[in-house]
Structure 1
């Protein structure tokens, strides 16, 4: 998957990007690890957005 950085990320996108970094997102992770990281990223994002 290739992520295209748009000129301005939505606040949610910005939060998501930060959470992904904190969760240890790495395109080279295997699929089971990616699922865990994705789950952590989503949880982190939801918590910060406040939903």
Structure 2
């Protein structure tokens, strides 16, 4: 909460802009269209996706 309400508002604006930019780089405009298919997964990844 640095800078109180204004700080939180600014942090959310930054997150929104970064998400918007990342989605544009992936060719998406809507979060509902985003799937795991756009992720680059390391060859030997054995993590749990659930």
TM range (shorter): 0.3 to 0.5
Normalised by the length of structure 1, the TM-score is 0.40
Instruction: Kindly name which structure, 1 or 2, has the bigger radius of gyration based on alpha carbons.
Output: 2
With structure 2 as the length reference, what TM-score do the two structures score?
0.41
* Structure with the higher helix share, 1 or 2: 1
Greater length-normalized contact order (CA 8 Å, ≥ 6 residues apart)? 1
